[in-house]
Structure 1
Amino acid sequence: MPEAPAPARPTILAVWLILAGAVGWWAAFSLTTERFHLLMDPTATASCDFSVLVQCTANLESPQGSLFGFPNPILGLGGWIAPIVVGAAILAGARFARWFWALFWVGMLGSFVFVCWLISQSIFVLSTLCPWCMVTWVVTIPSFYAVTLHVVRSGVAPVGPRVQRIADSLMSWVPLMAILSFAVIAVLAQVRLDVLGSLF
C-alpha cells in the first residue's frame, strides 16, 4: 500500500513537546514539593490553596492523589522528561523508528486517559480544582492530540494515504480541539461545582 510522504521534520511538534514537557514537569515538581511540605507539617496548607473549591491539599491527600501507592506528581517528574527529550532530538535531526513513535504514543495515551480520570475525580468526587493539576491538563490534552495526529500522518499507524492526509490537515486544528476540550471541562465544572457562583 503506498504511503503519503511524511513531513521532513515536525519542527512545530518538537517545539511544542519541549514547551509542554517543561510546563508539565514544573507543575509536577511544584505539586511534589507541596506534598513534601504537607508531609513534614500536617497542620500546614499548600500555597496553592485559595479556597474550598480551588486548592491542592484535598487532591494531594486523597486516595486519588496517590493512585499507585506514591504521590501522582512523581509520575510527572519522570514522565514529562520524555516529551522534552523527543522534542529536542527532533530539532537535532533525529528520526525515530515506527516502533519508537508507537511506544511514545502509548505513553501519551496513558497520560491522556489518566488525566481524564483525574479530571472526573476532581470534579465529581473531590469537588475541587487543583491549580497545578489544571496546568497539567492544559498541556497533556493538546500533546496527546498532536502526537496522535502525527503518528497517523507519518505512517506509523496502519492507515491509508487519505487518512494520513486528513491527519496532516488536522494538525493545524489542534489548538481549537484543545480549546473545545477545555470548554467541555469548564462546563462540567460549572454545572457540578458552580465555579462562577463561588467566585462572584
Structure 2
Amino acid sequence: MADSVLAVRSTRRPRLLAAWLIVAGAIGLAAAFLLTLDKLQMLRDPNAHLTCSFNVLIGCATNLASWQGSLLGFPNPLLGLVGWTATIAMGVAILASRDGFARWFWLAFNAGVVLAMALVVFLITASLTVLNVLCPWCMVTWSVTIPTFWAVTLYNLKTGVIPVPERVRRVCSALYGWVPLITVGCYAVVAVLAQIQLDWIHRAFV
C-alpha cells in the first residue's frame, strides 16, 4: 500500500485537470442552484412559471415533479449542490497540494464521479424515453459531468491509481489527450438520440 501511495504522489500535479474540475464544478453548482430555486418555487406554487421553462419541449417542471427527479427521496439538485462543491474543492486541493494524494482518495473521488455519470445516463434516458422533455439546467449538468467522468477516470487509469495492465495504461494515456473529442462524441450521441425520440430540431427551431 505504501508503494501505491508513493506512486500516486510522485506523479506530476494535473494542473489542467484541476482547473477543469474548478470550472466544471462552478458550472454544475450554478445549474444545481438554479434547479433548487425552481423546485422551491414549484413547492410554493405548482403553477408557477419557472426560469427553466421555455416551451413544451424545453423545461424542467416535468423533471422536477417526477419520481426520477427525487431518486433518493429528496430533489436531485441537492445532490448536485454537494457533489459539485466537492468537485471544486478537489480541484483547489490538487493545485494546493505539493505531495499529491493517497490512492484511496483518488479512488473515492473517482467512485463519486462514476456514480454521477451513472445518474446522468439514467436521467438522460428518462428524459428522452419517459418524460419526453429536455430540462435546460439538467443538460448543463450533463454537459459538465460527461467530460469530468472521462477526464478523472482516464487520468486514474493512465497513472496507475486504478490498477490495470501496462498496455491498458498506455491506451488510456493516449485517450486522455482526446477527452474533448470523446466528450463531443458523447454529446453527439445524446443529440442523435434526442432527435430520434423527440424530434427536437423540428420542434425547437422549425
Query: Which residue of the other structure, out of 182, 185, 199, is the alignment partner of 1:180?
Result: 185
Aligned equivalent of 1:39, options 12, 37, 43: 43
Contact 2:38 / 2:51 at 8 angstroms: preserved in 1?
yes
Give the one of 10, 16, 34 matched to 2:14: 10
Contact 1:15–1:87 at 8 Å: present in 2 too? yes
Once the two structures are TM-superposed, the CA of residue 173 in structure 1 deviates from its matched residue by: 0.4
Shift of 1:125: 0.2
- Does residue 31 of structure 2 align to residue 27 of structure 1? yes
Report the equivalent of 1:141.
Answer: 146
How far did residue 63 of structure 1 move?
0.9
Over the matched positions of the two proteins, sequence identity in percent amounts to 52
User: 1:52 aligns to what?
Assistant: 56
Which amino acid in 1 is paired with 2:19? V
How many residues are treated as equivalent by the alignment? 198
What is the RMSD of the two structures over their aligned residues, measured on CA atoms? 1.6
Instruction: Find the aligned partners of 1:15 and 1:6 in 2 and give their Cα distance.
Output: 20
CA-CA distance at 1:165 after TM superposition: 2.5
Q: In the superposition, relative to structure 1, how do residues 4 and 46 fare at CA in structure 2: closer, same or farther (>3 Å)?
A: closer
- 2:132 is matched with 127
Q: Give the aligned partner of residue 111 of structure 1.
A: 116
Mapped contact 1:38–1:44 kept (Cα < 8 A): yes
Q: Give yes or no for contact 1:146–1:174 (8 Å, CA) kept in 2.
A: yes
Measured after TM superposition, the shift of residue 4 of structure 1 is: 11
Structure 2: give runs of 5+ residues left out of the alignment: 1-6
Looking at structure 2, the residues matched to 165 and 29 of structure 1 have their Cα atoms a distance apart, in angstroms, of 39
Q: C-alpha separation between the residues in 2 aligned to 1:80 and 1:118?
A: 17
Structure 2 match to 1:84? 88
Report the counterpart of residue 152 of structure 1 in structure 2: 157
Under a length normalisation based on structure 1, what TM-score does the superposition of the two structures give?
Answer: 0.95
1:108-131 Cα shifts (integer Å, max 9, x gaps): 000000000000000000000000
- Normalised to the residue count of structure 2, the TM-score between the two structures is 0.92
Q: 1:6 to 1:148 in 2, by over 3 A?
A: farther
- With over 3 angstroms needed to count, the CA separation of the structure-2 counterparts of 1:113 and 1:53, relative to structure 1, is same
Residue 69 of structure 1 aligns with an amino acid whose one-letter code is G
What CA deviation, in whole Å up to 9, does each residue of 1:104-158 have, x standing for no partner? 1111000000000000000000000000000000000010000001111111111
